[in-house]
């Protein structure tokens, strides 16, 4: 990415009931943010806290919005939006008796039956995981869970045999692996409320795939493909795991697991044995999501935020701080974890961070400089979703605001 210029033009406008500020960098290439659309999905709450999913299905740009609302109301729904215009394509309404602020979890887009067309899956407070045809909204399957889900289902060829499985973990602490025909491959229960996104990877480093799940304040557990526990660790957590990232922090084969918790601890575990590689404390409500060589210096970075409103780039191998940027100085409750992607199509990744105060910022992962921003006077509670939905080689940015509106943003393209 080219260096940021000194001239920033701010345009202030009133957009769909919230003040919006759009920051554009003049002349330097793709760092500014422009609004593509803001969805007409507002509800009379400010605590929607699940991220949308975005992608392309049969050549069409689609965004899936998990909308929650007041208890026992008609406000809760799973809504498919046209990724180009933000117009509604279809809507699955959650029954009134199941409508709460946790009604619809993070969706997943995947080709479950391997027919070449992707479906969309989501867990709800109906205590079920649903699968829908992506463009028509026809429900293809609906499988029972023991409780409602908070996290995104995983679709992968995990267990022995042909085809992919659906992996769902509910808030009761039950992990379930389901074949596409609805039969259960295995089910395991560990006490603990599951907030953080489970992950599949070769944690053992032996060429096989394992499932890592953070069970609240009780344990971080790695399961093998048969459902057997490979290892489980509770110390030094002593607090609810709310975020998790996975990736390589060193040169050995096992994939590392990084957890962040409500006490502000960030802990890196070796994936093979669960040994602690390093840990740091950032105060309350630390969050992690991206573990990657974001600055392209040949060393992986871990990007960490906390309730103090600061974003930090850490050397993922040692935990040393490379840079720190202040995102918010206000009285905030949480700062959601940032996402990493190429939002200007220049072949280098950028960080996209959001704040509880409603600000979306594009940040240079090499320096921590803020390259562009957008703001609505509405809180944000979850990470931004990045996806190249228009096929131009640059990721668009999709953000769920607390009022149930999704903001679709673009950083444009860097000059060739």
pLDDT beyond 50 at 2: no
The pLDDT assigned to 23 comes to 37
Tokens of 307: 């309730």
Banded pLDDT at 4 (limits 50, 70, 90): very low
Per-residue pLDDT at 49 exceeds 50 = yes
Confidence category of residue 3, pLDDT binned at 50, 70, 90: very low
* Residue of higher predicted confidence among 246 and 239: 246
pLDDT of 22 > 80? The answer is no
Q: In the structure encoding, which two tokens stand for residue 92, read together? A: 């699955």
CATH class of 50-189: mainly beta
pLDDT at 315 exceeding the cut of 90: yes
Domain boundaries, the chain: 29-48+282-415, 50-189
pLDDT tens for 211-235 read: 999 998 889 999 999 999 999 998 6
- What's the residue count for the chain? 416
Q: What is the DSSP string of 62-88?
A: EEEEEE--STTSS--EEEEEETTT--E
Residue found by looking up tokens 């228009």 in the block: 390
CB 30 within 8 A of CB 37: no
Query: Could you give the 3-state DSSP secondary structure of residue 98?
Result: helix
pLDDT digits (tens, 9 = 90+) for 138-150: 999 999 999 999 9
CATH of 29-48+282-415, one of 2.130.10.10, 3.30.70.20, 1.10.3720.10, 3.30.1540.10: 2.130.10.10
CATH topology identical between 29-48+282-415 and 50-189: no
Q: Give residue 137's pLDDT.
A: 98
The reported pLDDT for the residue numbered 161 is: 81
Alpha carbons 201 and 208: distance in angstroms, whole number: 8
- In this predicted structure, the answer to whether residue 39 has a pLDDT above a threshold of 90 is yes
């Amino acid at each position: 990415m080219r260096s940021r210029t000194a001239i920033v033009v701010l345009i202030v406008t009133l957009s769909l009931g919230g003040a919006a500020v759009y920051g554009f960098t003049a002349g330097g290439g793709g760092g500014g943010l422009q609004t593509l659309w803001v969805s007409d999905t507002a509800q009379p709450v400010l605590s929607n806290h699940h991220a949308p999913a975005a992608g392309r299905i049969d050549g069409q740009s689609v965004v899936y919005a998990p909308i929650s609302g007041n208890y026992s109301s008609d406000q809760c729904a799973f809504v498919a939006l046209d990724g180009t215009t933000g117009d509604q394509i279809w809507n699955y309404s959650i029954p009134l008796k199941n409508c709460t602020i946790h009604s619809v979890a993070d969706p997943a887009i995947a080709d479950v039956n391997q027919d070449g067309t992707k479906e969309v899956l989501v867990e709800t407070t109906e205590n079920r995981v649903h699968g829908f045809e992506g463009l028509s909204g026809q429900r293809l399957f609906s499988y029972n869970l023991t409780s409602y889900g908070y996290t995104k289902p995983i679709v992968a060829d995990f267990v022995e045999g042909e085809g992919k499985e659906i992996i769902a973990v509910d808030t009761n602490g039950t992990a379930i692996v389901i074949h596409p025909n609805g039969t259960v491959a295995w089910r395991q229960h560990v006490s603990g409320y599951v907030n953080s996104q489970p992950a599949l990877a070769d944690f053992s480093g032996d060429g096989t795939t394992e499932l890592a799940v953070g069970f609240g304040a009780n344990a971080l557990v790695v399961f093998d493909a048969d459902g057997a526990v490979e290892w489980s660790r509770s110390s030094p957590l002593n607090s609810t795991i709310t975020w998790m990232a996975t990736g390589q922090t060193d040169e050995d084969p096992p994939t590392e697991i990084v957890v962040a918790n409500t006490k502000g601890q960030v802990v890196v575990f070796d994936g093979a044995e669960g040994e602690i590689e390093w840990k740091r404390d950032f105060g309350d409500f630390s969050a992690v999501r991206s573990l990657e060589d974001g600055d392209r210096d040949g060393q992986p970075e871990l990007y960490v935020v906390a309730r103090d409103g600061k974003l930090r780039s850490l050397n993922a191998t040692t935990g040393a701080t490379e840079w720190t940027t202040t995102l918010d100085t206000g009285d905030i409750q949480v700062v959601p974890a940032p996402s990493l992607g190429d939002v200007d199509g220049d072949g280098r990744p950028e960080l996209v961070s959001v704040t509880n105060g409603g600000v979306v910022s594009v940040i240079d992962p090499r320096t921590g400089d803020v390259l562009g921003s957008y703001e609505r006077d509405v809180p944000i509670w979850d990470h931004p979703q990045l996806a190249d939905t228009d096929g131009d080689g640059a990721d668009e940015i999709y953000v769920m605001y607390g009022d149930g509106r999704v903001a679709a943003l673009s950083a444009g393209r860097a000059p060739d």
